[in-house]
Amino acid sequence: MNEITLNDAEQLKSFIENHNFFFIAGHKEPDGDCISSCLGMAAILDYFNKPYQLLSAGPFKRNEVARWQDKFSNTMIFQDNSERAETGLIICDCSELSRLGEIDGDVKGFDTFVVDHHKTGALEDNMKGYINSDAPACAFLIQNFYEKLAGNMSKELAEILFFGICTDTGFFRFLTENSAPVFAAVSRLVSYGANPKNTYKDINSGKPYSTRKLLGVLLNKAERYLDGRLVVTYESLEDTKKYGLDGRDSDSLYQLLLSAAGVEAVAFLRQDTVNTCTGGFRSQDKVDVSVVASKFGGGGHKNASGMSCDGKVETLIPQVVKEFARVM
């Protein structure tokens, strides 16, 4: 696994020193890694005494990130042209402006620095940044940047970054024999004061009872395809109306279905509106779900990706199965 070098850190330091104000933004529908990474980047700017605004289009659907919602805004502060010229945009946990979602304000035209770890991530025109698809979490990259630029960190920041790494690694379940640098990094976070037991509790407890009810509905709808290797389930508009957005616990759903014998991949589709769908794909080691997600305008990692598109779930399911058949 390639680690952040002093030269990489100097590029971020130069970007910070060359601007007087910053917008920090992550992808829409933020997860724990996204929020953690943005807060970690804010800590780096604090170290350099640089002012900033944290942006997120939301919504903060996940129970574990709701406590940080009030630190973010979906409305950019007003700037005149001279102020915009001195402002830098830092994007964490994605690389495309379109993935930021609907933020009230113009995020285009800024000098931009990206920190991302997605396989499908790429620097758009004139963007600067660091993308490492071997990293298991963006928060892992942010930790390395912080330590290179600022040294040891506070207990509060260590807890935030530990949380981000844990959410994207399934509390280390997704790591392989090549992950020694990650375990070394999280060991340092624990030495700064991060508490693994409390972090696990923060991520996995306090979920609404509706999540348990909806899990039963989704498991009941699950169907096997491709000789049982692929499982597809879906959430209808009626399900969302009955159980609410807080009813979703897709991580538990994926874990339950992937633990079944013979299952190599899971597709979870949602009818978000009458005419639009979103989907999440998860897989075991061999199946590259990012290839499938890219066919529907999405992306992500080899074993965890997502997408959104126009259409109806009932017509989308056979299309998704067809694309999975190409990679399984």
Q: Note whether residue 222 is domain-resident.
A: yes
pLDDT band at 247 (very low <50, low <70, confident <90, very high): low
The CATH number of the domain where 309 resides is what? 3.10.310.30
Share of the chain above pLDDT 90, in %: 81
Q: Is the peptide bond before 181 cis (omega within 30 degrees of 0)?
A: no
Q: Note whether residue 1 is domain-resident.
A: no
Mean per-residue pLDDT of the chain: 94
Nearest to 278 by CA among 292, 302, 298: 298
DSSP characters over 107-154: -TTSEEEEEE--TT----TT-EEEE-TTSS-HHHHHHHHHHHHH-S--
Q: Note the pLDDT of residue 246.
A: 66
189 and 226 fall within a common domain? no
SS3 content of the chain, % helix, strand, coil (to 5): 45, 20, 35
184 and 69 fall within a common domain? yes
Structural tokens at position 131 = 């993308």
Q: What is the mean pLDDT of residues 294-317?
A: 92
Reported pTM? 0.86
What is the dihedral angle through the alpha carbons of 32, 162, 177, 180, rounded to the nearest 10 degrees?
Answer: 140
Can you name the residues that pair with 234 across neighbouring β-strands?
A: 269
Domain region containing 292: 209-327
218 and 285 fall within a common domain? yes
Nearest to 230 by CA among 280, 281, 265: 265
Among 123-127, 133-137, 161-165, 279-283, the range scoring the smallest mean pLDDT is: 123-127
Q: What is the pLDDT of residues 138-157, one digit of tens each?
A: 999 999 999 999 999 999 99
218 and 111 fall within a common domain? no
All residues at 6 or more sequence positions from 156 whose CB lies less than 8 Å from its CB, including other chains: none
Can you name the residues that pair with 268 across neighbouring β-strands?
A: 233, 280
Q: What is the pLDDT of residues 87-128, one digit of tens each?
A: 999 999 999 998 899 999 999 999 999 999 987 777 887 899
Structural tokens at position 232 = 């597809």
